[in-house]
Amino acid sequence: MATPLPLVFSAPKRGMPPAHFADLSDEQRIEALSELGLPKFRLNQIARHYYGRLEADPMTMTDLPEDARAKVKEALFPTLMEPLRVVEADDENTQKTLWKLHDGTLLESVLMRYPDRATLCISSQAGCGMACPFCATGQGGLDRNLSIGEIVDQVRNAAATMHAEGGRLSNIVFMGMGEPLANYKRVVSAVRQITQPSPDGFGISQRSVTVSTVGLAPAIRKLADEDMSVTLAVSLHTPDDELRDELVPVNNRWSVAEVLDAARYYADKSGRRVSIEYALIRDINDQGWRADMLGEKLHKALGSRVHVNLIPLNPTPGSKWDASPRERQDEFVRRVIAQGVPCTVRDTKGQEIAAACGQLAAEEK
Residue 132 counted as an annotated binding residue: yes
> Length of the chain in residues, anyone?
365
> Catalytic residue positions?
108, 357
Residues 224, 211 contacting (CB under 8 angstroms): no
Nearest to 87 by CA among 107, 120, 110: 110
Other CB atoms within a 10 A radius of the CB of residue 225 amount to 10
Roughly what angle, to the nearest 10 degrees, separates helices 217-224 and 184-195? 30
Residue 237 counted as an annotated binding residue: yes
Instruction: Round the CA-based radius of gyration of the chain to a whole number and report it.
Output: 21
CA distances from 272 to 62, 187, 233, 264, 340 (A): 43, 19, 11, 10, 18
Query: In sequence order, what are the residues at sequence separation of 6 or more whose Cβ sits closer than 8 angstroms to the Cβ of residue 153?
Result: 20, 22, 56, 80, 81
Cite the DSSP H helix spans in the chain.
26-35, 42-47, 66-76, 136-140, 148-164, 184-195, 217-224, 241-247, 256-270, 288-302, 326-338, 359-364
DSSP per-residue string spanning 284-300: TT--HHHHHHHHHHHHH
Sign of CA dihedral 220, 223, 227, 229: negative
Other CB atoms within a 10 A radius of the CB of residue 41 amount to 9
DSSP state of 229: -
Nearest to 183 by CA among 225, 154, 211: 211
Residue 135 counted as an annotated binding residue: yes
Residue 277 counted as an annotated binding residue: no
Residue 128 counted as an annotated binding residue: yes
Residue 246 counted as an annotated binding residue: no
Rounded Cα distance, 75 and 67, in Å? 14
The binding site for [4Fe-4S] cluster comprises 128, 132, 135
The binding site comprises 128, 132, 135, 178-179, 212, 235-237, 314
The binding site for S-adenosyl-L-methionine comprises 178-179, 212, 235-237, 314
